[in-house]
Amino acid sequence: MAARQRKLCIITNRYPAHPDDTASPFIRDFHLALKRHRVDVTVFTPAYPAEYIDTPAGVQRFYWNGGGQTVGELNLWSPQGWFSLFSFLQQGREKLFDLIELERPSHCLALWALPSGWLAYQVHQEFGLPYSVWCLGSDIYVWAKKPFFKQITKMVLNQANHLFADGLDLSERVTQLTGRFCQFLPSQRALPRTKNESFSPLESKFQNFLYLGRWEKSKGLEDLLYAFRLVVDQNPVARLHLIGWGSYGAEMKNLIELLNLGSFIKIVGKVDVPTLSSYLKNCDWVVIPSQGESIPVVLSEALQFRKPVVVTEVGDLGYLTRKFGIGKVVRPGQPEDLACALLEIAKDKKDYTKAMPELLELLSIRKAVDDFLQTLGWKTSPARKTAAVSVF
């Protein structure tokens, strides 16, 4: 395909408002990596309230009546939730059609089957434009299980030219839903190395565990807090640092106080990327206690700084952690098991870092871009050759 035809429109539920935004940060890296491969990329995404907006050229945001919520946060048990959803779909369809007529891309890539995939499907119906769908977890694990949305999801996926998913288990779920092949395409962001090597936000006299992600019950935070109460009863030098934000924040703070963990847990909140890198560089272990994930971005972030992990047996987390020997695996929703794993890894002398470079290559955004362009039949720029990595 000639270079002038390599014109892509990415349709996505989220796009980071700025480089430090934690809303699906891998999308920005994927977008910029495509541009480095000389692909002409336009991004279409809804507008959300943010501290400030600093996005690359070519990102178009459309406004809708969402009341500051993301589309995934809408309460569809209420009439207002449905009104906001219809506003999203109506405004999105109208503005996207205008963009397609202006930019004339040769392919669309929808991130999440719903609602971005539905918008790509509408473009296909109106303009005959081919599209692909990159499934990213909630669209399949949550929405595709709901009767009404399941049928729409299947329609969107079955009309797509190519199907991708950012997890091995997720790929299998998509194939089960559609009867079609779904290619594994990892989601990752690259974090910068810290510039100030002498600075550390953590005290080295403690054993420092790090949680990084959304503050939601579904992320296993409640389990982690109960587990950490058991940990510090036996290991008083253990410390837990919580980076992120979310709807569970107020309840989380109350539980920390109730469990008398104020001296052992630091609530960090939102941080910029350099500070995040500093925490990852100086912590000892990363904890991913989620009750439902595919391959969360935080896993690759821990690998970039060679940090062992304690994860739950959900999605691909347990499988990859065991296969590459990068940490310990426990059952989700079991604070006692989680506490035991945290205590054990703190005493363990095993080197968990040996296979981390291999797994990091498997999850790299560079590989994701190469695989995506090759699947579309678009030639990629010459890249450094690496040994093949098997995940099976």
Instruction: Say what the pLDDT of residue 175 is.
Output: 98
Q: 65-69, 135-139, 216-220: which has the minimum mean pLDDT? A: 65-69
Rounded to 5°, angle at Cα 91 from 88 and 97: 125
Q: Which residue's entry shows tokens 């994860």?
A: 311
Average pLDDT over every residue of 277-292: 95
- Helix segments in the chain, DSSP class H: 26-36, 79-103, 116-127, 138-141, 147-159, 168-178, 221-234, 249-258, 273-282, 297-304, 317-324, 335-347, 356-362, 365-376
Range of the domain at 133: 3-188+365-376
172 or 83: whose pLDDT is higher? 172
Write out pLDDT tens, residues 99-149: 999 999 999 999 999 999 999 999 999 999 999 999 998 899 888 888 889
Instruction: Say what the pLDDT of residue 381 is.
Output: 56
Q: Which residues contact 135 (CB under 8 A, 6 or more apart)?
A: 112, 113, 157, 163, 164, 165, 166, 170, 174, 182
Query: Are 184 and 232 members of one domain?
Result: no
State the total domains in the chain: 2
Inform me whether the pLDDT recorded for 373 exceeds 80: yes
Q: What are the strands of the beta sheet with 162-165, ordered from one edge? A: 59-62, 40-46, 7-12, 107-111, 131-135, 162-165, 183-184
- pTM for the whole structure: 0.86
Instruction: Say what the pLDDT of residue 391 is.
Output: 55
End-to-end Cα separation, the chain, in angstroms: 32
Distance CA 342, CA 310 (A): 7
* Peptide bond connecting 357 to the previous residue in cis, omega within 30 degrees of 0: no
Query: Are 174 and 323 members of one domain?
Result: no
Write out pLDDT tens, residues 318-369: 999 999 999 999 999 999 999 999 999 999 989 999 999 999 999 999 999 9
Instruction: Say what the pLDDT of residue 229 is.
Output: 98
Q: How confident is the model at residue 164 (pLDDT cuts 50, 70, 90)?
A: very high
- Residue at 200 is within a domain: no
Query: Are 240 and 345 members of one domain?
Result: yes
Closest CA to 157 of 185, 183, 178, 173: 178
Query: Are 151 and 250 members of one domain?
Result: no
Instruction: Please give the DSSP secondary-structure letter assigned to residue 352.
Output: -
Query: Are 290 and 170 members of one domain?
Result: no
Is 292 in contact with 314 (CB distance < 8 Å)? yes
Is 149 in contact with 114 (CB distance < 8 Å)? yes
Is 160 in contact with 194 (CB distance < 8 Å)? no
Query: Are 345 and 269 members of one domain?
Result: yes
194 or 189: whose pLDDT is higher? 189
Write out pLDDT tens, residues 83-97: 888 888 999 999 999
